A and B are shown apart, each in its own frame.
Chain A
Amino acid sequence: MSEGKKKEETVQNEALIKGREQKERRRTLVALSFIAPNFIGFAVFTLIPVVFAFVLAFTRWDGSNPIQFAGISNFTKLFSDKFFLAALKNTIIYCIGTVPLTLIASLALAILLNQQICGRGIFRTVAFFPYVASLVAVTAVWKMLFSQSGPVNAILYYVFHVENKDLPQWFVGNLVMVSYILFSVWKFMGYYMVIYLAGLQGISKELYEAASLDGANTWQKFTSITWPQLKPTTFFVSVMLTINCFKVFDVATLLAGGDNNTLTISSTVLVHYIYQKGFIEWDLGYASAVAMVLFLLVLAVTLIQFKGEKNYANS
């Protein structure tokens, strides 16, 4: 009797477990089917190509003929390649110039446009406008403004009485990096300003009220409340900015490339060099090796930034 009952119970239990398992499996399947579209797209168009690029860096391949293993020869070649070294140097200079300047400019704009000023909406739109405007169109305008006989040089000539022969050539030699940096700060600060604005609006007003009661001045409020409260935003902005700066291609091509997209030793950047080696000269192995260097560079900088973020969180 009791044995029969027991048996019945186990059968019931098993059915229950089975049902639960089935339910579980179904839920997993449904979940997977939701993830699948995005993940398959990501895998096919990003993950697999990235892994493939790692492999390619150690080969010689022109995209059609069989792949030949080349060991580390692509990497040893890098150190004697004048154009690669120039591109690396230029990209780093560009980042060092652009990241802090954009950060400061966008923060300043955000604080300014967070005040109760008349026409705030219009000013916010104006500041955001460069980011929305087509890159190709605005580079054309910048090239006109900064051309040899353009308005900027005209101001230098008529207002500051710079000699004609001393007028700067904005897209040649050392100045070309300055042009890239100025352009990028102007173009991208609007976007980061919006992120900072969101951050500013998340700061509790009570903190400022309390500070005012304690007699803190504006600068003290900024250093003791605004800046620390904005740390997570600043972290996000700096990571995104750094990554975007290392990826610079369009700005360089459009400002200094000319009609046959040729960059010189002083104006070339890493991604342009990767494109040239990969898709003009079809040396995909070498191009991947350059891409690896770019990857390691971005990885290193981002790790340092993450470390800084952690330290901040602990303190």
Chain B
Amino acid sequence: MKKRKFFSAVMACSMVLALTGCGGNSTTPTTTQAPTTTASQETTTTAATTEASTTTQAQPSGGEAVTLKWAIWDQDATPYWIALKDAYEEKNDNVTIELIDLGSSDYMTVLATQLSGDTSTFDVVTVKDVPGYATLVQKNTIEPLDDYISKANIDLSLYGGATDQIMVDGKLYQLPFRNDFWVLFYNKDLFDKAGVEYPTNDMTFEQYDALARQVSSSDFGSSVYGAHYHTWRSAVQLFGVLDGEHSILSGTYDFFKPYYEMILNQEADGICRSFTNLKTEGLHYSAAFSGGDVAMMNMGSWFISTMISNLQSGDYDSSLCGNWAIAKYPHAEGVEAGSTLGTITGIAVSTGASNKDAAWDFVEFVSGTEGAKVMAETGNFPAIMTSEAMDIISSLDGFPQDEQSKAALEVSNLYLEVPYAENVSEINSILDSYHSSIMSGEMTIDEGIAAMNDAIGKIINK
């Protein structure tokens, strides 16, 4: 009898423990760890203990074995995570960088949710976009880096002004390590076939519009779209911020109007694909450009490495898009050529990091000149754009060989797609939504802009 009683009590207790224990454990990253990490962790531990006395490098934690958990996305499709990890581990053999892949589609949402539960989930986090950065800062999940920066004597001017646009009340919470900027991709074959001159590195929007119209053709079976705009609002609206006077934080958005007009007119005349079709069919910009019927496409410089690697692997048909090149972004009358949009990817230290100095050392490496070199070697644009990095990229096998494409990499003014502001994620959602409304014809351009002015005006003047 007593035995049975005891047994049932034990059963009840174990059930309770199993359930509550399960709830508590769900935030620890054990389930997301790659199966190989434990093995590699062990080997580094032994390596570190045997070599600790022999290494004389300036170690962040005195040669003690350190594991840093680093939040990233799409490990298999992105070559630089492993390259940065390897380069750093080679230099600091007591440190193991553990990559934790959160996937790319809703990376910032997943990251913010995990850090809300427990900031020690990660030591180092990659920050994908500025609205996500704003969220992480406001949630106190990433460390201000100013003390570290001044201690390490880092020259922020190397970042070409990008760090000024992500200051939060005079403090910096991330350092950029990757800096993409928008350029004009074009398909030389289509221009040759139409007998039209290639785009140049100094084009006004009028010239660009005329060129798109010249090169496009509606011949059955060989129709050519003069231009292509992806469904992101950046691809259309942000032509307006290149003058340096306007920004998406302005609160009034009438400066978008000429660009909406230009692109909706192009759409009506069949110069570019319709926004609604792109959205419902979910056509990816890479598929559109590599399909060989798009003459010009404005897109970020990240697409350069995609083009190179996919043409080399044979995933893109080189007879359709193999003869490609890039040119500088078109600009408004009176604006300097080479003014373009930028998108930074940053790296930050989590407030819950177990060893903040070690985490900072890694952040400094990735965002500094050494990291920049690693980034360039994988065909990506580092935030510190040295002439060395530029040469590495433009001499990559598969990079367009004409002089103009090389020159197109020189940026005169870089405006972030989304600069920092307190309510930037709310502003971003509103602009996204009304952009869709205008482009799909649910609202006229004037109605859409008036709605943006109204909704965002309320937020800014709050």
Chain A residues at the B interface, C-beta cutoff of 8 Å: 26, 29-30, 32-33, 36-37, 40-41, 44-45, 62-65, 82-83, 140, 143-144, 146-149, 169-173, 258-260, 262-266, 268, 276, 279-283
Complex Cα distance, B425 from A119, in Å, reads 55
Q: Is the CB of B442 within 8 A of A266?
A: yes
Nearest CB in chain A: distance from B352 CB, A: 11
Add 6 more A-B contacts to A37-B15, A140-B282, A259-B282 (CB < 8 A): A29-B8, A62-B139, A171-B279, A258-B231, A260-B231, A264-B442
B277 with A149: CB separation less than 8 A:
yes
Closest A residue to B426 by CB, please name it.
A281
| B109 is an interface residue with CB less than 8 A from chain A | yes
Q: Is the CB of A44 within 8 A of B20?
A: yes
Q: Given A44-B20, A63-B139, A64-B139, A258–B282 Cβ distance below 8 Å?
A: yes
**Residues of chain B whose beta carbon lies under 8 Å from any beta carbon of chain A:** 5, 8-9, 11-12, 15-16, 19-20, 23, 109, 112-113, 115-116, 135, 138-141, 231-232, 274, 276-277, 279-282, 284, 425-426, 429, 432-437, 440-443, 451, 455
Contacts of A148 in B (CB 8 A): 274, 276-277, 280
B19 touches A280 (CB 8 A): no
Question: Shortest CB–CB separation between residue A64 and chain B, in angstroms?
Answer: 4
Q: Are the C-beta atoms of A26 and B440 separated by less than 8 Å? A: no
Cα(A172)–Cα(B274), bound, Å:
12
24 contacts between A and B (CB under 8 A): A29-B8, A33-B12, A36-B12, A40-B16, A45-B23, A62-B139, A63-B116, A63-B139, A64-B115, A64-B139, A65-B138, A65-B139, A65-B140, A143-B280, A143-B282, A144-B281, A148-B277, A169-B276, A169-B440, A171-B280, A262-B429, A264-B436, A280-B425, A282-B138
SS class of chain B's interface: helix, strand, loop or mixed?
Answer: helix
| Complex interface: chain A residues within 8 A of B455 (CB) | 82
Chain B residue contacts of A36, Cβ below 8 A: 12, 15-16
Structural contact, A173 and B442, CB atoms closer than 8 A? yes
Closest to B431 in A: A262
With A36-B15, A172-B441, A264-B433 already in contact, the answer to whether A279 and B9 are too (CB < 8 A) is: no
Contact A44 B231 (CB under 8 A): no
Look across to chain B and name the residue whose beta carbon is closest to the beta carbon of A37. Answer: B15
Complex partner residue of A262 from B8, B9, B436, B442, CB under 8 angstroms: B436
Cβ–Cβ contact A282 & B139, under 8 A: yes
Task: Among A64, A171, A263, point to the contact of B116 (Cβ < 8 A).
Answer: A64
Closest-CB distance, B152 to chain A (whole angstroms): 28
- Closest B residue, CB atoms, query A258: B279
* B116 / chain A contacts, CB cutoff of 8 Å: 63-64
Max chain B Cβ within 10 angstroms of own Cβ: one of A45, A169, A171, A172: A172
Selected from B135, B282, B437, B451, the residue in CB contact (under 8 A) with A282 is B135
Shortest Cβ distance from residue B325 to the other chain A in the assembled complex, whole angstroms: 27
CB-CB nearest in chain B for A147: B280
A147-B277, A171-B280 given; A41·B140 CB < 8 A:
no
Is there an interface contact between B442 and A172, defined as CB atoms closer than 8 Å?
yes
The answer for the CA separation of A65 and B441 in the assembled complex, in Å, is: 41
The residue on B at minimum CB distance from A32 is B12
* Contacting residues, chain A, for B109 (C-beta < 8 A): 279-280
Instruction: State in angstroms the CA–CA spacing of A82 and B443 once bound together.
Output: 15
Q: CB distance A146 to B280 under 8 Å?
A: yes
Q: A258-B436, A264-B440 are in contact. Are A29 and B113 (CB under 8 A)?
A: no
Which single member of B432, B433, B435 contacts A265 (CB below 8 Å)?
B433
A82 to B140, CA, bound (A): 30
Q: How far is the CA of A33 from the CA of B5 in the complex (A)?
A: 12
Do A281 and B280 touch (CB < 8 A)? no
Q: Which 10 A-B pairs have the closest CB atoms?
A: A64-B139, A33-B12, A63-B116, A258-B279, A262-B432, A264-B437, A172-B440, A264-B436, A147-B280, A40-B19
Q: Which residue of B lies closest to A43 (CB)?
A: B19
Shortest Cβ distance from B442 into chain A, in angstroms? 5
Min CB–CB distance A29 → chain B (angstroms): 6
Residues of A near B280 (CB, < 8 A) are 143, 146-148, 170-171
Q: Which chain B residue lies CB-closest to A262?
A: B432
Do A280 and B429 have beta carbons less than 8 Å apart? Answer: yes
Query: Of A45, A263, A282, which contacts B433 at CB under 8 A?
Result: A263
In the bound complex, do residue A260 and residue B5 qualify as a contact, i.e. CB atoms below 8 Å apart? no
Contact of A259 among B20, B231, B276, B426 (CB under 8 A): B231
A62, A148, A262, A268 — most chain B CB neighbours (10 Å):
A262
Whether A173 and B441, one on each chain, are in contact in the complex, defined by CB atoms closer than 8 angstroms, is yes
B454 to chain A, nearest CB (A): 8
Asked if B8 and A30 sit within 8 Å, CB to CB, the answer is yes
Point out the residues of chain A lying under 8 angstroms from B9, CB to CB: 29
Q: Which residues of A contact B139 (CB under 8 A)?
A: 62-65, 282
Are B437 and A265 in touch, CB under 8 angstroms? Answer: yes
Question: Which listed residue (B19, B113, B432) contacts A279, Cβ 8 A?
Answer: B113
